[in-house]
Amino acid sequence: MFWDLLWFLLVAVYVVSYVFVLIFIVTDLFRDDSVGDVGKASADIAQAKALLDDGTITQGAFDALKRKALGNQYFGA
């Protein structure tokens, strides 16, 4: 009984630690600006679109934010 409990706790600590490391790696990848992930760009564009729809920013500001999020790769700047 004691060894089963000890083994369970050891495995549980290992699994929880493994999950925390995976979460740390994924968040670090999305935080790093040099990665250039499509998901990060699309989230930035979606946020800018919401601001445009609310009337907070103008169409020109939205286009500038979109160019910045896409890294000017589609607009030839």
- Global pTM reads 0.46
Under the banding of pLDDT at 50, 70 and 90, the label for residue 77 is: very low
What pLDDT score was predicted for residue 7? 97
Whether residue 17 is found in the same domain as residue 29: yes
- What is the amino acid identity at position 18? Y
Q: Is residue 16 situated within a structural domain?
A: yes
Phi first, then psi: what are they for 65, rounded to 5°?
-65, -35
Give the other-Cβ count within 10 Å of 35's Cβ. 11
Residue-wise pLDDT tens digits, 23-71: 998 888 777 665 555 667 778 888 899 999 988 899 999 998 888 887 7
Whether residue 47 is found in the same domain as residue 28: no
Whether residue 20 is found in the same domain as residue 44: no
57: left (phi over 0), alpha (psi -120 to 50) or beta: beta
What pLDDT score was predicted for residue 59? 92
Whether residue 3 is found in the same domain as residue 29: yes
